[in-house]
Structure 1
Amino acid sequence: MKHSYKRLFFIGFLLAMGYASDAQTASDAEVVYKPIVQLGALFKDHMVLQQNKPIPVWGKAAAGATIDVQLADSKKQTISDSKGYWQVTFEPLPSSFSPKTMTVSSSLDEKQLNISDILVGEVWICSGQSNMQFSVNGAPEVKKIVPLAKNIRSFKVKNTVAFQPQDTCEGVWETTHPDSAVALAFAYFLETSVQVPIGIILTSWGSSSLEAWMPRDMTAIVPHYKIMMDEFDADQETKNRITAILDGPKPWKKDDDIFLRRQTNILYNAMMHPLIPYACRGLVWYQGERNAQSMYGMQKEPWYTRNSGMLKYGDVLKAWIKRYRNGWGDDDLNVLVVMLPGYGKVLESDKNNDSKSPEAHSWAWMRASQLQALELPNTYVANTIDLGDDANIHPNDKLPVGKRLSLFAHNIVLNNKVPAMGPTFKKLKTKKNTMVVSFNNVKKLKTTTGKAPTSFWLSDASGHWFPAEAKIKGKKVIVYTSGLEKPLYIRYAFIGKPNVNLVNEVDLPAYPFRTDTFNP
C-alpha cells in the first residue's frame, strides 16, 4: 500500500507523540490517529478574555503545520515550531457582553477547533493557600451575595503537582462565580464598580508555601531556595512517594494530600506554569501563613517549616513578583497582596511568649515583610489588621477582604483615585516626651469607636517597649507615655491580634508600622 508524504508524516508524528506503538502497522495508525491541533488549557468555551491588552493564543500541533486562528472578526496565521508549539497574538479588544467565537485549524489536520461563548472583560488570577481556597459556604457574609453575583465566570485549576513545568492543566470555564470566598467577594465588588464581565482563574492549595509556587530558575537568585531544591533533588524517598501518590487511587488520602501541597516548586509546575502567558490584569495573592511558622526560616524540624520564614519573606516575595512579571512578559502585571489578618498565636521560639507584646514572635513580622511589596510598582497590599480571629487561622470575615482588594482593582481598571488605602506612616517628630505621627492617605483621621486610638507602643534606646496613650489632632496622632522620658521609636498595631480602631474618612484601617530597626 502506498502512502502520501502527508500520511507518512502523520504516522511519524503519531509515534513521536505516543499515540501508537512501534508494533502498529501503517494501516493501523491511519485508522487510529487523526492529528488534532491543541489549544492551551484556558482556551475553552465560556472563557473570559482580558480587555484592552494584547491577547496571546497558543497551543501545539504537528511540527511545521500552518495554524490559522480566528477570534471574532480578526484572523492570525503562524507555523508551529520543531516541537509543535505555536502562538499568535491578537490586538486588544474592548469589553463585551456579546459572546464571541474562536476557531483554530491546522494545514495538517482534518479537524477544526471551535470555541464559543467568549466574553471580554477583566481577568484576574487568584492564588495562595487555604484562606484563598476558603469556601463561600464557610463565609456567611459572602454567601449572602451569591444571588447578587452577576457576569462572573471562573476557571478552577485542579490541585495536583508535577516534577517538570507543564503546558496544560485540568479545568473548565464555569458560567458562575468561584467557590473561593475571597475571590467571589473581590469579583462581585469589582463587577459592580466597573460593569464588565469578570473572569477569575482560581489556583490555590492549603498549606502551600511561597516556595511551592516558585519556578526552579529562581534558585539562581534566592539562596535558600537553591538549598531546598538541591535537597529535593537528592531526596529519592520523597520523589518516590510523590510518584506513588500521583499514580495511585483517587481521591488521595488526607495525609497524602497534605504531603503533596507542602512540597516546593511542584505546585508551580502543575498549577501556575500552564496559565502563562494568558492575558490578565493581575494576580491576587493570599498566602503567608505557611511561611509564618518560623522567624528566620530553613528549620530542619518540622520539615514543612523549611522555607523563607517571616523575616526573609519580603525580599523573596519581591523577587517572586518580578519573576512572574517576567514570565508573563508584562512589567505592568498588577499584584494585589492580602496582608495576614489578626491571629493571636506566637511562635514556640519566642522566649517572651506574651502575645500582647510588640516584641513577640507573632504575625506582625510577616505583615511587615508583606508590606515590602509596596516598594515595587503596580503592587498593592490590602490591609486586614482589623479582621481575623485571635484563635482561628481561618477566619470567616472574607467579605471585607474582597471588597478592599476590589478598590485597588477599580482604580487600576478605571484609572480612578477612589480611596483604596487606609492611613500609612508618613513621618515622625519628637517633642520632649511626646511623639507626633503624620499619615498619608487621609483627609480626616478618626476612630471606629469614637474613643482614643489604640495599639501604640514607644521605646527608647534600650529597645524596651511601653504601652502608650494616643490622641488625634487633625491628620496627626500624638503619642505619649508617662513611663518614658526620651522616646525614640514607635510601633503601631505590631502584635498578632491587635485591638485597633484608627481609620481614615472612608473607614479604611491604618496600616501597621514601626520606626525602629531592632532585631526580633
Structure 2
Amino acid sequence: MNRSKSKCWIANACCWFAPIIPLAVFIVCIFMPHSLLAEDVGERWGTEEREREYYPIVNIPMPKDAVIEAGAFATLPDGRIAVGTRHGEIYFLDGIDAKKPNPTYHRFATGLDEIFGLAWEKDSLRVTQSCELTRVRDTNGDGVADRFETLSDDWGYANYHEYAFGSQVDREGNQFVALGLSASYHSHAWNRGFIMKVAPDGKTTAFASGLRSPGGIGFDEHDALFYVESQGPWNCSCSLKAVAPQSFHGHPASFHWYPYSPELGPIPEMPKPGSRIVLEKKRIKQLTPYAVIFPYVRMGRSITAFSVDRTGGKFGPFENQMFLGDYTQSILMRATTEQVNGVWQGACYPFREGISTGILNVEFTPEGNLVSGGTNRGWPVRGIKPFALERVEWSGKMPFEINRITIEPDGFQITFTKPVEPVTGSSPASYSISAFTHPYHGAYGGPEIEKKSPAVKKVVLAPDGLSAKISLEELEQGFVYEFDLVRLRSRDSEELLHRNAFYTVNEVPAKRNVLVSTKAIDENPLVPGEDRIDTPDISDGLCVHNLFQSNMVVQRDRPIPVWGWASPGEQVTVTLGEESRVIKAAADRTWKVEFSPMPASTNPRSIVVQGKDAKIELTNILVGDVWLLGGQSNMEFELHKVEEGPLEILSANFDQIRLFTVPQLNGPETKTSFPRQYQWNDFFSQHFRQGYWDVCTPESVRDMSGIGYVFGRRIHMATRVPIGIMDVSRGGTTLAAWTPIEVLTKINSPELQSTLLDWDTRVAEFDPQKDLERRIKQFDEREANLKAQGKPIPKNRKRPNELLPGPAVDMNRPGNLFAGTISTIAGLPVKGAIWHQGYNDALQPNGHKLYAAVFPEMIKAWRSVLNDPNMPFGIITQETQDQPQTLENFLPPMVDEGVYIREVHYQTFLKLRDQGDKNIGYASSFDQHRAWYHPQIKVPVGERIAKWALATQYGKSIRWLPPQLQECKIEPGKITLKLDTWAIPFHDGPIQGFAIAGKDGRFQPAKAVWLDKNEGKGEPNWERSTIVLSSELVPEPIYFRYAWARNPLENLKSSENAGLPFDTQRNDSFSLADMVEIYTGKKTTTPGVISPKESRELVQALQAEDKKRRFFEARKLLDEKSGFSSGR
C-alpha cells in the first residue's frame, strides 16, 4: 500500500510540474554552453555513403501535431505496427511498408508513462511503462483502448532514470521486465536493478539482479533471453548479457533487495574492485559475464533495444541476427551469439550510420524492413531531429560484409556474404587481429587494458570463398578480439563495407577428434573452387567418390557399389572385407565396382582402393541402414538449438550411429560429386559442417539435424542396427528446386507453369555482359578513388574479366537442387528418406496447388535416382507459426496458405497409401505449438516419424498412424464423424478445434462431443471413436474443418500410448479466394488469387464475424440467467 501511495504522489507531482518542464528545458538549452550542446559523441565509421547503396533510409512522415518519440514497437496480427511513445501514447500505423510511406496513424491509447515495451497477446497489448506492466485492450470495438489492467507493479518508481523495459512474451506466456537503477550508483526504489518475471496471471518474481541501466530486453535467434546494458559503474562498455534464473550481472547496488526475493537464492559475493570479470566469475558463482561487448565509442555509447531478423531473407543476408540501435551516435549495429561450454558469447558488427535522431527501439515489419524510432530528449545525440520514425530497407544488392564470426578451438571461423578473393583471403597478413580486456570496477566506465596482437598462424579459405578459418598463436578467455580486415577483397575486387568486428571470448571450445581419411580428403579434393560445375578430380590421380569415406555406413542387404576416377586405362583394385574387384578406368577416367550384399554388422570393415601409384584406405566402416533427411530449415534445425537438445547431446556417444551432411551445389547442370571440405552460408543460417562421415559423439552431433538425430537414435535403440544419417536438407528452399526440371516441365499445373515461366524470364533477361560491365565500372571507380586519396592499391587486385551466370544458378530455381544435390548421390543404396518442408512454398499465392501437383512426382523422382521405386519415404507435416488460434480469435487464423500446404502433406500420404504404396509414411508436427516458424520442439517430431519406420520397415508393434477419419455423415442439425480409434482431448476438457458451416460456407466454432449410445437416456455411454458436431449458429451444417490454422486450436489425440493428434482436415474445397467472396461479398481482383489487401480485408471480416459470435454467446448467457430466450 505504501508503494502505491508513493507512486501516486510522484504522479501528482509530475502533473503539477509538467507545464513548466518544457520551459525549463528550453531555458537550460538556450543558456547551456555550446560545448555541451555540441558534445563530441565519437568518430564516425565513415561508411554512410556506401551504406546507402545497399540499405537506404526512408523517412516515415508523422502527423504535424504529434510528438512521437517511439520507445517500443509491436506487430499486430493484421500487419499494422503498434508504436508506444515516451509521452505515454500508443499509435497503430497502417501503410508503413508502402514504397513511399505515408501511413495512417490511429491513436489507440493515451495517459501512460514512458513506454519501453509492447507485446501483443490475443486481443490486447501488454505495455511496459516505468511504474508497471499494463494490459491494455479495446472491449467495445471502437478502436480506442478502454480497459487498462495492472498486470504487475511489483517494483518501485521514484527517479527519472528508473526506466523499465519489457520483453516479448515467451512460449509459456511469461514476460520479463528489466529495471534500471536510481541513477548509476543506487537502488532507492524497490527491486530496482532486478529483472522481474511476470507470469500470465500476473504473478511476479525476481529473476536476475545486478543491472545498471538497461536499454532493452528480448530473445535472440536461439530464444535465449538477453538484455542490453549501458556503460557506467561496473560496466566499462555497453554490452549484451545473457539472462538466466538467479544470474547476477555485475552491479551490486540491488543486493539489499535480496532478503525480499528468496527465489534469487543467496546474495552473491561482493565484487572486488579492480579485478577482471573472468577472475571474479570463478569466485562469484552467480556472476554472468558479458556475452557481447560493444567497445565504447567505436561501437556506440548508449545502446538500446534490439530486434531479431526473422524476415526469411527479405532484409538481406543477416537472417536470425540481432539488430541494435545506439541512442547517442544514431547508428545501427548487428550482433550474433553462440553458446560455448554452456556460456553465451558472440560478436558485434557495424551496420548503418545516418539515423536522424537518437535510437530508442527498432522493429522488423511484415515486409522485411527495419523501422527505428527515437528522440534527442535527455542526452546528446548525433542525429539532428528531435524525434523521428525511419525505415531501413534492403535495396536487393548484396554488400560484401563479414556475415558472422564464431569461435574455434584455436581461433575463429569468419563467414562472408560474398566469396573472398583467394590470394588475399588465404594470406595471414590480410587478417589483422588485436585483443583487449577491461577492468571490473565500480568507477564510471573504464579503459581498454592488457592490449595485445596475437599472430595469425594459419588461414584456411573455403573453396567457395565464403568462409575462412583462422588459427591464432593464442586465444584467451576474458578478452575482446578485434578484427580489422581492411586488406580483404571480394572476387569482384570490392572492399568490405565494414572492415571491423569484435568477438567477446568467455569460453574456448574443446578440440574435436575426427577420424577421417586424410589422404582421400587432403590429397584428392574433388572441387578446388566455386567455378567448377562438375566435380571429378582434375589431378589425374586415383580418387573415390566423396560418398566413400572412413566412418561411413553402407546399406545392408543390397549390392554395395564403389566408384571413383583414375587415369584412363589404369587398373584399379578395390577390396571390401574379404572380397576384391579389379577394373580398368574408362576413357572418361571413371570406374565402378559392386560387392555382394551383406547383413547388418557392427564389426568395422575397410575399403582399400589400389591404383598404379596410389593407394586409398578407408577404415571403420559399418554395415547397416542409411537414411536421408530432406527438406528445408526445420529439418536442418540443429540439435543444440532444440528443446531437450542439450540432454540428447550429453548422451550422444554412439559408435554405431554415423553422421553425414551432403553439401549442395547450385546450377541446372547435373552434378556427379561434391567437395568434402565444404562450408557455406545462406540467408537462413550459417553452416559450419563439412562433407564427411563422422562417428556420433556429443561434439559431432551438436550441429546435426535435431529431427534427424532423434529419428536415427530411436531406430538404433530399438533395432541395434548401425544407422547412417545423411542430411541433404537446406533452409529457405522450395519444393520445385528439389524436383528434376525434366519432370516439372511435364506436370500440368497452371501455378507451376507460371513459376517456370517466371524463372525462365529472369534467366533470359539477365545480361552477363552488362553485369560484367557494371562490375568493371565499380572496380575502376574504386581504384581511381584510392589513387585520388593517396591510399595504397592492393598488388593482387584483379580486374573483373569473367561472366557470371546470375539467376541461372539460384538454389531455388526449379530443378537446381535436385541437379546439384540429389544427383550427386545417385545410385547410392539407402534404406529410405524422411521429408520436412513447405514454409517457402506457403509464401507464394496458391502455393498449395503447385505443391499438390509436384509433391508426388518429386517422391517418385527421388526413388528413381536412388534405384529403388519402393524406397520408404516419410512425410512430416508443415510446422506451426504465428500466435495460437483461440475461441476468441478463431476465424482470422484460417487465412493462411500454410494450413493448405499441411493439408497437401496429409492428403498426399493418404492418396499414395490408398494407391497401394506400402512404404509411404507420415508424422504430424502441428500440435507442437510455437509462434516462431522454427518451433524448437523437435524431439517428439523425430520420435513420431521413427515410429512409422519402426512399425513398417522393422516390424515393430507400435502405433504410428494418427486417428483416421473413416466416415463423415451429414445429418439434420449435425455432422457425425466416425474415426478408426478412440480419440480424447489432451489434458481433458471439451474437444476443441472443429468448425462447421452450412451451404453459405460461413464457418463457426463447433460444439464437439462423443456419440452417446444411450441417446441422453440416463448416464451417458460414450462412443469415443464417434464425434458429433453442431452449433446453434449453423442450423444445417454440411462442411467441417479441424485444426484449420497455422498454429491451430486443437486437442484431439488417440487414446492409445502414442497420443497422436487427429490431423488437419476438412470436407469442403473452399480456397482463400472463395472465402474472400463468402465473407466480403467481393470476388478477388485476380481470379483464384488473394492479394495482400484482400487478405487484410478478409481478416477484418472474420474478426467481425468472431465479434458477432461472442456477442451472441454473451447475450445467450445473459438471457439464460434472466429466464429469457435470445433466439438467433
Question: Shorter-chain TM-score: what band?
Answer: 0.7 to 0.9
- Residue by residue over 1:178-208, the C-alpha shift from the partner in whole angstroms, topping out at 9 and shown as x without a partner, is 5221111212212111212211111222111
1:372 corresponds to which letter in structure 2?
Answer: Q
1:448 CA drift (Å): 1.0
Contact 1:161–1:266 (CA under 8 A) maintained in structure 2: yes
Matched, 1:482 2:1032: yes
Q: In the alignment, what sits opposite 1:202? A: 727
**Secondary structure of 1:140's aligned partner:** coil
Q: CA deviation at 1:435?
A: 1.4
Deviation sequence 1:440-459 (CA, Å, 0-9, x none): 3x3x3222121221110112
Pick closer, same or farther for the CA change 1:269–1:230 going to 2, 3 Å. same
Whole-angstrom distance in 2 between the partners of 1:447 and 1:104: 59
Between the two proteins, what is the percent identity of the paired residues? 24
Q: 1:514 to 1:215 in 2, by over 3 A?
A: same
Q: 1:120 to 1:45 in 2, by over 3 A?
A: same
Question: For 1:158, which of 644, 653, 663 is the aligned residue?
Answer: 663
Structure 1 residue identity aligned to 2:644: E
Partner of 2:718: 193
Are the structure 2 counterparts of residues 235 and 42 from structure 1 closer, same or farther at C-alpha, using a change threshold of 3 Å? farther
Paired with 1:183 and 1:148, the residues of 2 have a C-alpha distance of: 16
Equivalent position to 1:406, from 946, 957, 960: 946
1:36 to 541, 545, 553: 541
Q: Secondary structure of the equivalent of 1:438?
A: strand
Alignment correspondent of 2:1064: 512
Task: Work out which of the residue numbers 937, 947, 955 in structure 2 matches 1:397.
Answer: 937
Alignment partner of 1:462 out of 980, 986, 1000: 1000
Partner of 1:303: none
Are 1:327 and 2:865 matched, yes or no? yes
Whole-angstrom CA distance in 1 between matches of 2:627 and 2:553:
10
The CA deviation at 1:425 is 1.8
Q: 1:214 to 1:450 in 2, by over 3 A?
A: same
**Would the aligned equivalents of 1:99 and 1:117 in 2 still touch at CA under 8 Å?**
yes
Q: Which moved more, 1:398-407 or 1:157-166?
A: 157-166
SS of 1:86's equivalent? strand
Whole-Å separation in 2 of the counterparts to 1:437 and 1:179: 41
Shift of 1:358: 7.0
Alignment correspondent of 2:647: 144
Q: Which whole-Å CA distance do the structure 2 matches of 1:37 and 1:417 have between them?
A: 48
SS at match of 1:49: strand
Which of 111, 120, 127 lines up with 2:630 in the alignment?
Answer: 127
Deviation, structure 1 residue 35 = 4.5
Distance 2:929 2:625 in 1: 29
Spell out, residue by residue over 1:130-149, the C-alpha distance to the aligned partner (whole angstroms, 9 max, x if none). Answer: 11221222113122112323
Structure 2 Cα separation of the partners of residues 80 and 519 of structure 1: 57
Question: Gaps spanning 5+ residues in structure 1: where?
Answer: 1-16, 20-32, 249-255, 297-308, 347-353
Alignment-mate amino acid for residue 925 of structure 2: T
Question: Of 1051, 1056, 1075, which residue of structure 2 is paired with 1:501?
Answer: 1051
Which structure's residues are more often helix, by fraction?
1
**Greater mean deviation of Cα atoms: 220-229 or 284-293:** 220-229
Change (3 A) 1:205 1:239: farther
Equivalent position of 1:213 in the other structure: 738
| Structure 1 Cα separation of the partners of residues 937 and 1052 of structure 2 | 19
Unmatched tracts of structure 2, length 5 or more: 1-525, 529-537, 676-690, 776-797, 799-805, 1011-1022, 1073-1128
Deviates more, 1:158-167 or 1:327-336: 158-167
Q: CA deviation at 1:116?
A: 0.9
Cα distance, 1:408 vs. partner?
1.3
Distance 1:402 1:72, change over 3 A: same
AA in 2 matched with 1:464? R
SS of 1:123 mapped into structure 2:
strand
Q: How much is the aligned-residue C-alpha RMSD, in angstroms?
A: 3.0
- 1:203/1:357 Cα in 2 relative to 1: closer, same or farther (>3 Å)? same
2:922 to 371, 381, 394: 381
User: What residue in structure 2 maps to residue 301 of structure 1?
Assistant: none
What letter is aligned with 1:206? Answer: G
| 8 Å CA contact retained: 1:312, 1:369 | no
Partner of 1:271: 821
How far apart are residue 345 of structure 1 and its match?
7.1
Runs of 4+ in 1 over 6 A off after TM superposition: 238-242
**Aligned partners of 2:735 and 2:838 also within 8 Å:** yes
Contact 1:102 1:115 in 2 (8 A): yes
Match of 1:451 in 2: 989
- Which residue does the alignment assign to 2:561? 56
- Tell me the equivalent position of 1:426: 966
Q: How does 1:304-323 map to 2 (within 5 A)?
A: 309-323=847-861
Partner of 1:112: 615
Q: By how many angstroms is 1:343 displaced?
A: 1.7
Partner of 1:25: none
Corresponding residue number in structure 2 for 1:3: none
For residues 476-504 of structure 1, give each alpha carbon's deviation from its aligned partner in whole angstroms, at most 9, with x where no partner exists: 21111122222112111111111211111
Distance 2:630 2:674 in 1: 15
Using the TM superposition, give the Cα deviation of residue 317 of structure 1 relative to its aligned residue in structure 2, in angstroms. Answer: 0.8
Q: Give 1:230's aligned amino acid.
A: D
Find the counterpart in structure 2 of residue 174 from structure 1: 694
Report if the CA contact (8 A) 1:122-1:199 is conserved: yes
Matched to 1:138, the amino acid is K
Q: 1:355/1:282 Cα in 2 relative to 1: closer, same or farther (>3 Å)?
A: farther
Cα–Cα, structure 1 residues 365 and 62, in superposed 2: closer, same or farther, change >3 Å? same
Selected match of 2:877 from 320, 327, 339: 339
Q: 1:241 to 1:421 in 2, by over 3 A?
A: farther
Conservation of the 8 A alpha-carbon contact between 2:967 and 2:978: yes
1:69-108 superposed matches below 5 A: 69-106=574-611
Deviations 1:229-257 (A, max 9, x none): 53354243589989x9xxx9xxxxxxx9x
Offset at 1:369?
Answer: 1.2
Q: Distance in 2 between matches of 1:239 and 1:93?
A: 55
Conserved in 1, the CA contact under 8 Å of 2:667 and 2:811? no
Using the TM superposition, give the Cα deviation of residue 93 of structure 1 relative to its aligned residue in structure 2, in angstroms: 1.5
- Tell me the distance in 1 between the aligned counterparts of 2:562 and 2:907: 34
Structure 2 counterpart of 1:384, which letter? S
Q: If you compute each CA radius of gyration, which structure gives the higher value, 1 or 2?
A: 2
- How many residue pairs get matched? 455
Contact 1:358 1:491 (8 Å CA) reproduced = no
TM-score normalized with structure 1 length: 0.80
Matching of residue 416 in structure 1 with residue 956 in structure 2: yes
Asked whether the 8 Å contact 1:288–1:366 carries over to 2, the reply is yes
Structure-2 change in CA distance of 1:513 and 1:34 (3 Å): closer
Which string of whole-angstrom CA distances, capped at 9 and with x for unpartnered residues, describes residues 376-407 of structure 1? 222222111211323x1111111111111111
How much has 1:83 moved relative to structure 2? 2.3
- Other-structure match for 2:843: 293
C-alpha change, 1:271 and 1:239, in structure 2 (3 Å) is farther
* Contact 1:434-1:487 within 8 A present in 2 as well: yes
Aligned with 2:728: secondary structure? strand
The answer to whether the aligner puts 1:236 opposite 2:775 as a matched pair is no
Q: What is the aligned partner in structure 2 of residue 252 from structure 1?
A: none
1:125-177 CA-partner distances (Å, limit 9, x unpaired): 11221112212221131221123232321111235424422221121111123
Structure 1 405/413 Cα, relative in aligned 2: closer, same or farther at 3 Å?
Answer: same
Higher relative contact order (Cα pairs below 8 Å, separated by 6+ residues):
1
Could you tell me the TM-score, scaled by structure 2's length? 0.38
User: Shift of the alpha carbon at 1:417?
Assistant: 4.0
Q: Is the 8 A contact 1:459 1:484 kept in 2?
A: yes
Q: CA separation of 1:463/1:154 partners in 2, compared to 1, >3 Å: closer, same or farther?
A: same
The 2-side partners of 1:340 and 1:115 are apart by 39
Structure 1 pair 169/412, CA: closer, same or farther in 2 (3 Å)?
A: farther
- State whether residues 362 and 495 of structure 1, in contact with CA within 8 Å, keep that contact through their aligned partners in structure 2: no
Q: Secondary structure at the match of 1:175?
A: strand
Give, in whole Å, the separation in 2 of the partners of 1:54 and 1:142.
36
Q: Output the amino acid matched with 2:842.
A: A
